[in-house]
Every structure is written in structure tokens, then in C-alpha cells.
Structure 1
Amino acid sequence: MIKIDSLTKEFSIGEKKLTAVNDLSLEIQSGEIFGIIGYSGAGKSTFIRLLNRLETPSSGSVTIGDKQITTLSKKDLRNARQDIGMIFQHFNLLWSRTVQDNIAFPLEIAGVGKSERQKRVQELVDLVGLTGREKAYPSQLSGGQKQRVGIARALANRPNVLLCDEATSALDPETTNSILDLLVSINKKLGLTIVMITHEMHVIRKICDRVAVMEKGSIVEQGDVLEVFSHPKMPVTKKFVKQVMGDTDEDEAEMNQLFQNENNRNVLRLHFIGETTNQALISQLAKKFDIDLNILQGKITQTQRGAYGTLFVQLIGDQHEIDKAVQYIDEQTSVEMEVVENER
């Protein structure tokens, strides 16, 4: 477990003080993939550097396992860092070293013998999917391959925790997905605790179990990814969710125009969890009530904990039948309903 208690980091800029991380408390469970998301300037990167004490906190504590990182001596900190791997946005590879030599570097520093070092390097090369590229230099690799080297290097000393600082931000979408799939596989195979720092909600959606949202150095919202996605509370979280759902200004304009039509009555917004939930509900409504259903718009997205989505539907028919259908929907525990006609 990682336990952060009242963590604060202040920087002095001339006579002014900038608080990058502000009285932050958080617990991350062993073996989970935990996401920290926020926009530029939220304090994310400073926070993750505090976890392995690349930055020294102004106050507060970080405990990883049974070690309070913030109170360790320099010698003990060096030893503790062997249990904490880290990968970076821009890879931070040694350009004069080959793939296998980059991966071997932390083992050399740790004093691991040549034979054992070579064996471990080959295990990691195979694990991250770089078999056959052992003797290539970073300049000969794609962005995704460079990040795979970075991941292998971070795993060299068999850490219990892997910190990822914007690890996919420099990659294209297809490569990002392949790296995220690799991290999920590593998490399952090795039981690692992974902390993902990102400004991309897609990353959180795809692989994280829980998420914390940072703004101005503080955590403003946290919880299970599916819960945070389906019921965002803070404006910054709602903005992130809107982005990952693919909502655009064109979508908003289209819906505004739709609702300005006076014939569009009895329109409902349905929030559902589970891919088949909305399909089953629409089928049941059509069978149980003498009404027509017009699906105006719908979107669904996947998370590690399941699917969720929103569906706009219009009920057409006798008002008495419509009222019964609305009551039926309201009684369903797996679907949340809002009447949205004339709200725009």
C-alpha cells in the first residue's frame, strides 16, 4: 500500500511561494492501477516525484509498504528506490547504449553479476515484446519501442511499484493503446502497483481501477473509475468525462437544435451502466407499452470496471401510456433517468 498523508510541496520564486501540491492525502492499494489526472499545472508531475523523493516535500509524509520514504537517509533512500520503478514521457534513454545495455544499466548500478544481469535483461526484453531488437540503439527505435525499453528498464530491479509520468503523452493513439495493454499485462503477471500520472482521460478509462482528479495542487475528486465517469461531481471532472465521451461543439449544437423543435416532447436522458442495460430496457419498453421510441443520440464507453453511457430517447404515443413507461423506467435500479424536454 502507498499512503500519502498531508503532503505539501512549495517552491520559492523570488519572494513569492508557489504551492504545487497542497495538503494532499491519499491511499493506493497494493496491486491496483491508480490514475492521477489533471490539466497542465495541476501539480501531477510534482506529486509523482514526491513519491520516490526526487522532490523533497515541504511537509507531510509518503509511506510505501513499511517504509516512510520522506524520512529515509540518502543511503536507505537509494535502497528503497530499487523497489520503485519509474517511466517518463520522453523515455530518458541513454542514446549511446543499446536496448539491452539500457535495460542492464540499473542492474549494473545495483552490482548484479554479469551472468545474472544478462539473464534478467533477456527476460525483460521478451516481456515487453522487443525480442530481436536487443542490439538496436534508441535512434533506431519507434516511440513505442523506446517506451518499451523504458518500461523494461524500470522493471529491472523487480520493483513493487511502477510510477508512470505521462508515459503515453508522446505517442500516437495506436501506440498508446499497445503500451497501455502492456502495462495491464505487467500488472496482472507481476502484481505490481502502478500509479499513472496523465492528462488523458482515455488512459484512465482504459486501464485504471481507481482515479483521483487533481486541480491546483489538491485532489478534488476520487473513487472507482466507473463511478467517477458515470457520476462526475466537480466541473473539472465533468470536463474530462465530456472529452473522453467524444462530445464536441457540433454535438452540442445539434442537440440544441433538436430541443428547439416544439414537436420534440417527452424526451428522456438515460444514464446506464453495463453494455446490455440500455438494449434490454428499450426492448422491454417496446413490449410492455403501446408507444414508439425514437433514439435521438447515444454514446457508450468502456472502463476496466465495465461500460457506461448516455442515451437520449423520445417517447411517442398516448400521454397516459408514456407516463406509465416513464414510471417503469424510474423504477429500474440500473438506469438513471432525467426528463430533458424544453430544458434547452
Structure 2
Amino acid sequence: MITLRDIYKVFQTKDGPVRAVDGIDLRINEGEIFGVIGYSGAGKSTLIRMVNMLERPTQGEVTVAGRNLSQLHEKELRKARQEIGMIFQHFNLLWSRTVRENIAFPLEIAGVKKPERDRRVDELIKLVGLAGREESYPSQLSGGQKQRVGIARALANNPKVLLCDEATSALDPKTTDAILDLLVDINEKLGLTIILITHEMHVIRKICHQVAVMEAGKVVEQGPVREVFRKPKEAMTKEFVKQITEPEETADAISHMLAESPEGKVVQLTFVGEETERPLISQLIRQFDIDVNIVQGKITKIQAGSYGTLFIALDGKPEQIEAAIAFIRSKQVEVEVISHVE
């Protein structure tokens, strides 16, 4: 559906050239929710703006639905952009227009006649849950309602692709979850391909099928969300995964246990899918002469199913601890022995 091949973007500044995107290759399948995560300055917003050619790449090709956008002239590109909707962090609504008029705006630009415009706007208002607010102005809406208007407007021309640039960053956690649920609903009902830019691993965990991790203009890790959570390879990816799996109080508890019991071990267990439902801890206690202390545990939902992490402290004879760890690994559970806390 979307292919980025050997993409570079170099900005010329007073201090010399800045390489914002540095040799990226990505393939995004039709109907997929694809997340791109990275901290500020990683190049992710520049990358997403090249998908619809709001930024033209310095080098490389962008192909959407079989069409190479890099080779299109401006008139052809304007037509191609009608198949690519975009929503923004700060909504970008027209403040002098009502909800209905904001949603209708791209249809006016496209020359759609008024009866057809009205019918389409009514459909979209219902789809995004704004019934009853049609005549309200943006200043009369909450942040979540404004973003719903932005989503409806982006869907007006029946696009095949929806680009979300930090679309939930300005919202509180509860509203963020509601907007993410709406995006999943749209993805399932319309079969829309969604690319989502964020710096929050919670967003990736909740709705994305695939994720690419960006750092300094490069994709440093990429794969199905389930696998990236289960076996993060790069330091940057591990840092993001810790946002979900290892809150600050857990790190404090681990440090305390390592200091109190230098002969024991603290381990992190990672479960995926059916593994989260197995009585592993009770099996450990029955089969091995060790003490097991649960530090912290959490099971969360990702698009591919359940994902769980459990931090436990094992105390006893070294050979018994090693045998217990080997037993855990035999149950297809990922095990990481934690020797220190960063």
C-alpha cells in the first residue's frame, strides 16, 4: 500500500546541512495501523509529511497505492492527496466555521455539490460521535471533540490513507484512549490504512499492528508490536518499552531487593498471548526449593492479544535459582536477569 524507498531529507541551515531523515526504507500494508515512535527531533514528523509530499524528499521514492508521488507534478499531486487524509496535534480547524462547515470544507475545495456534501457530512458526524454539535464552533468544543472534527474532516474525501501526526499529544489520558478507540473503529469499518506518529508507547501498544522506532533520522528497529514488546533489541526501543513495563516504583523496589539479597536474583518475565494465563509462579514454588517474591506485574492488551510483564525476586541456593530460571524458559516465557537498575 505504502512504500518508502531510500528516503532522505536534508534541510539547509545557517549552521550547515541537517539530515532530518537518513536513508529510510519502510513498507506499510493495506489496512494496517503502523506506528512510528521517537523522541522530539528524531525525524518522525518530517517522515510523515513526506508521505503526502507536504515535504518533498531530498532523495528517494514515496509510493502510495501504486502511484509514485515523487514523480507527480503539482496538479496531479493535489488530486493524489485527496486519497491521503491528515490529522494534527493542534487540530488546525477553521475557527470561524462550525463543526459542519469545517468537515464540509475539503468537499467544497473538491467541487462536490451541496446535496452530496450535506449527506457526506451527516455520515461523518455520526461516525465520529459528534451528533448534536453540528452548529458549534471550535471554541465551544473540548479537545477531544476538536480532534473528532479533525478526523471527520480528514475522512471527507474517502481517503485510502490517514496520517496522524501526534494526534493525541495535546489530550488527557482518558480522551486519548477515546480517540484511539475511534481510530481503531475507523480502521476496522473502512479498512483504512493508518500511519500514526507518537512519542508515547501507550499509543503504540493500544492500537498499532506494526511499529518503527526512529532515532536521529534513522529507523533503528521495526516489527510487529507484539515482537518488539517481547524482544526489544535496541537501547532506544527498550527505553520506550519500559514506559509500559517498568514504572519508577518498580525500579526502586528492584534496587532495594538487589541490595537486601545479593545472593538472589531479580528477573523480568515477559508473557504473550496464552502464556499470560498459565500458573507459572505456583509451579515454581512447588517444584523448586526457593522463595519467590512478586515485585510488580501487569497484563495489558495489544492488537495481537495480551502482553504481560512480571518482576519477581528469587532467593535460595544458586543451583536451585538457575534450575528455576531454566524451567521458566522451557515454558516459552522470555526471562531477563536484572543485575542493576539504570
Shared fold, TM over 0.5: yes
> In 2, distance between residues paired with 1:264 and 1:48?
50
Equivalence for 1:66: 66
- Is the CA contact 1:10–1:18 (under 8 Å) kept in the aligned structure 2? yes
Assess, with a 3 A threshold, how the Cα gap between structure 1 residues 295 and 196 changes in structure 2: closer, same or farther. Answer: same
Matches within 5 A, 1:17-36: 17-36=17-36
Q: What letter corresponds to residue 18 of structure 2 in structure 1? A: L
Residues 161 and 194 of structure 1 are in contact (CA less than 8 Å); yes or no, is this contact kept in structure 2?
A: yes
| Native 8 Å contact 2:250 2:295 kept in 1 | no
Partners of 2:197 and 2:309 lie apart in 1 by 27
When structure 1 is superposed on structure 2, of 189-198 and 315-324 the one drifting more is 315-324
1:317 and 1:7, CA in 2 relative to 1: closer, same or farther beyond 3 A? closer
The answer (yes or no) to whether the contact 2:93–2:150 under 8 Å persists in 1 is yes
In structure 1, distance between residues paired with 2:60 and 2:319: 61
Structure 1 residues 262 and 130 mapped into 2: Cα distance closer, same or farther (>3 Å)? closer
What corresponds to 2:127 in structure 1?
A: 127
Give the C-alpha shift of residue 316 in structure 1: 5.5
Deviation per CA, 1:137-165: give whole Å up to 9, x if none.
11111010000000000000000000001
> Which secondary structure does the structure 2 equivalent of 1:176 belong to?
helix
* Contact 1:293/1:314 (8 A) holds in 2: yes
**CA offset at residue 73 of structure 1?**
1.0
* Alignment of structure 1 residues 39-50 onto 2, 5 Å: 39-50=39-50
Task: Quote the offset at 1:263 in angstroms.
Answer: 7.0
Query: Conserved in 2, the CA contact under 8 Å of 1:8 and 1:22?
Result: yes
After superposing the two structures, state which structure 1 stretch, 239-248 or 211-220, moved more.
239-248
In structure 2, relative to structure 1, the CA distance for the partners of 1:241 and 1:27 (3 Å cut) is: same
What is the match of residue 261 of structure 1? 260
What is the CA deviation profile of residues 312-331 of structure 1, one whole-angstrom value per residue up to 9, with x for unaligned ones?
Answer: 33446677766654443232
Residues 8 and 318 (structure 1), Cα distance of their counterparts in 2 relative to 1, 3 Å cut: closer
Determine the structure 2 residue equivalent to 1:303. 302
Counterparts of 1:327 and 1:253, CA distance in 2: 26
| Structure 1 residue aligned with 2:16 | 16
**Matched residue SS, 2:268:** strand
Which one-letter code corresponds to 1:262 in the other structure? S
Residues 225-248 of structure 1: per-residue CA shift (max 9 Å, x gap): 111112111111111111223521
Name 2:269's counterpart in structure 1.
270
Query: Matched residue of 1:34: which SS?
Result: strand
For residues 319 and 19 of structure 2, what CA distance do their matches in structure 1 show?
Answer: 59
Identify if the C-alpha distance between structure 1 residues 270 and 134 changes in structure 2 by more than 3 Å, giving closer, same or farther: same
Q: How many residues align?
A: 341
Please say if residues 230 and 309 of structure 1, whose CA atoms lie closer than 8 Å, have aligned partners that are also in contact.
no
Shift of 1:272: 2.0
Q: Percent identity?
A: 60
Q: Report the alpha carbon displacement of residue 273 of structure 1 after superposing the two structures with TM.
A: 1.8
Q: How much does 1:81 deviate? A: 0.6
Question: Structure 1, unaligned stretches of length 5 or more?
Answer: none
Quote the residue 1:200 is aligned against: 200
Q: TM-score, normalised by structure 1?
A: 0.92
Note if contact 1:37-1:211 (Cα within 8 Å) is conserved in structure 2.
yes
Query: Superposed, which structure 2 residues align to 1:96-245 within 5 Å?
Result: 96-245=96-245
2:318 is equivalent to residue 336 of structure 1: no
* SS of structure 1 residue aligned to 2:42: coil
CA distance in 2, matches of 1:318, 1:252: 24
- Cα distance in 2 for partners of 1:262, 1:220 equals 37
Comparing 319-328 with 158-167, greater Cα deviation is found at: 319-328
**d(CA) in 2 for partners of 1:306 and 1:339?**
25
For residues 207-233 of structure 1, what are the alpha-carbon distances to aligned partners after superposition, in whole Å with 9 as ceiling and x for unaligned? 000000111111111001111112111
Question: What CA distance in whole angstroms lies between the structure 2 residues aligned with 1:15 and 1:261?
Answer: 52
Q: Which moved more, 1:277-286 or 1:116-125?
A: 277-286
Aligned partners of 1:197 and 1:326: how far apart in 2?
Answer: 38
State the AA in 1 paired with 2:335. M
SS in 2 for 1:135: coil
- How much has 1:186 moved relative to structure 2? 0.1
Match of 2:279, SS state, is helix
84-93 or 296-305, which deviates more: 296-305
Q: What root-mean-square deviation, in Å, do the aligned CA atoms of Structure 1 and Structure 2 show?
A: 2.1
- 1:131 partner amino acid: A
Aligned partner of 1:282 in structure 2 is 281
CA distance in 1, matches of 2:285, 2:224: 34
CA distance in 2, matches of 1:7, 1:69: 13
Give the letter for the 1:336 counterpart.
Answer: E
> What runs of 5+ residues in structure 2 fail to find an aligned partner?
none
Question: Does the Cα contact within 8 Å between 1:85 and 1:162 map onto a contact in 2?
Answer: yes
Output the amino acid matched with 2:30: S
Match of 2:251? 252
